[in-house]
Structure 1
Amino acid sequence: MQRRTFLRATSAGAGAVALCGTLWQGAAAHAASSAGTPASAGPYGPLLPPGDLGVAVPRGFSVRVVARSSHWVRGILWHPAPDGGACFPDGDGWIYVSNSEIPLIGGASALRFRPDGTVDRAYRILSGTTLNCAGGATPWRTWLSCEETFRGRVFETDPYGRRSAVAHPAMGRFKHEAAACDPDRRVVYLTEDEGDGCFYRYTPHTWGELDSGRLDVLCESSGGGVEWRQVPDPSGPVFGRQTRHQVSAALHFDGGEGCHYHDGVCYFTTKGDNRVWAYDAEAGSLGVAYDSTGPLDGVDNITGTAGGDLYVAEDGGNMEINVITPQGVVAPVVRIDGQEESEITGPAFSPDGTRLYFSSQRGTSGNAAGLGGITYEMSGPFRH
């Protein structure tokens, strides 16, 4: 089944939007039924019993710990509360970057891996920021680290540690969550972690330079579909209206989380209603790729593969990462046992697609400050 066929089967129609600003019109039974597919029908088969690390994976896969919060790793103390992350190629090795979702000193760190998978070095790429939750990689190999706080900012960082991070206030001052670059339309999509948050599109004046541009918000159109309208004041003044309240026709989503762009579609998750949305940028329509009924519960960070598989991490639920295939199959690919007070964050594939990195933000301790965070690497025959 092709991507557009899947979207037609799982959406509420091309941009069907209720006047109240919600999209779900009861036509997503297809998504609910596909979500009920047994886990054993997943592309990797069922999960085996958890191993010594308390992590369950399918046959043929293995897991190891690559970093622990508050523990030394190649010259730095790995940050607490690891959150959003991404991988970048680096010569014959690769780099995994990870945000730190703690106040005041959050920032982000990086792990550089040698060709054999051993950690070569670790270093900070952003410091002195607050509650860095998710973000997104750019085509020019920088990491957008987003602050999940009132009037939060987007920082563009260098995964290779050569250049200082730069804030981009033109991308909006709001409770940022994730970012996803669309190189085809030369825009960046942004989610907002509020109970009535919005979905944004940032168009830089020059692609590859994010310091200036136009911020739009997704709105209900007069014809019943969706359209983009400019946010009058992206700075979100303290004593004025926040960005999500500046355009009356703006669509509101219940707790925006991760987002991921692939083949003309930006997928984004909303934790309040446990959905994975699909904005078809080519058609200019909005649909639902996954509704709340099924094995995936507590949707949060999301990533994907070149082949179209989506990988969605759970905040709570039963601590799984689930795959959603282009055929609509939903099944767990990894589960962490004994860490019910944590959440899975930062899923990202190595450049060759054979390793999946992710973290348990609070680990076995459940410590609210994330001091027990654990960052893992899962290796095996992933579908590309």
Structure 2
Amino acid sequence: MLENKCLNEKDKIFHDKDIFLEDYKDMNRNFKIYAYPHNKDDPFAHALLPVDFEPGGNYASESYFKKVLMQSHFITKDPTKADLFFLPFSIARLRHDSRVGVRGIPDFIRNYVSKIRQNYPYWNRSDGADHFYVACHSTGRSAMEKAEQVKLNAIQVVCSSSYFLSGYIAHKDVSLPQIWPRQGTPPKVALSERKKLAFFAGSINSPVREKLLQAWRNDSDILINEGRLSTPYADGLLESKFCLHVKGFEVNTARIADALYYGCVPVIIANHYDLPFSDILNWKSFSVVVATLDIPLLKTILNNIGSEEYLKLLRNVLRVRKHFKWNLSPVEYDAFYMVMYELWLRRSIVRFAISGLFESHQNEANVSKSM
């Protein structure tokens, strides 16, 4: 009985579907965000306002989120009704601004937050605990070097969500899924056409990927491709049962979303990755996690997954992939709404923190009066 219960729990794609669905409805009705306003004539309007085109590229998640949020019913113009406050600077756009660049981003953020603190009362009342920003490029997490309060207090919604590094705090911060935008309906491929066991393609830019290449470069069942492919990338995803997400410079890449889109079971080889939507989704039900130390055992691990277990993983891949899709007009339970729900979960923590802060200040004031 206990074994069957464990198997059933592993089959569920949600940790607790009933609680999620009920709380999601509450979020949709009541969640309010105040975005600090900026004019089109601002010198950095291109980095502070949403893009006026459909986002693309490897870091599109950041632009999609802001563009959709600013058009959504979650935005309020009355800051007294806001649960959270959005700092709308775009790390992706500041990186390519010759006036700022990667090295100048920490100064830009420090000056920006300083102006927010001077012009609005909301940051100071919580030390930024009810504020958040969004960034997909890894520079976003390290851009707070000169704005310590942002890093320690504000909610960082970032793709580079490694809880091994000091710049990211799990449960306070949010893991943003890195997704390469794709249009249209995902292709349907019969399992019988997936002849290869596993597939990876990409730069060998980390010790983990080097280890993968050394172990499996000459294997006929596990295809490891270094650099650019001579055939379409999608073919490798469609021809394989498992698709490998392997840590590079950071724990995150768009490969998990790629695998889900093409109906390939993702295999995650990236220690300390705080996986997107892990508060909501049961990753064991639609993916395989392999420790980097076990790369030499990869083939054995995958071959030991029986056909029945694999079919369950595959069915769940097809069920969860809608949660990893960005839409310009948001669709219920898509990537935008899932990120919003993660923020919704954190607003209660923020309120507790703010309440504690106020109580601390009040106690200090009472002590001062008694003296």
- TM-score range (shorter-chain normalised) is 0.3 to 0.5
| TM-score, normalised by the number of residues in structure 2 | 0.33
Higher RCO, 1 vs 2 (CA within 8 Å, ≥6 residues apart): 1
Q: TM-score normalized by structure 1? A: 0.33
Q: Kindly indicate which of the two structures has a greater share of residues assigned to strand.
A: 1
Higher helix content, 1 or 2: 2
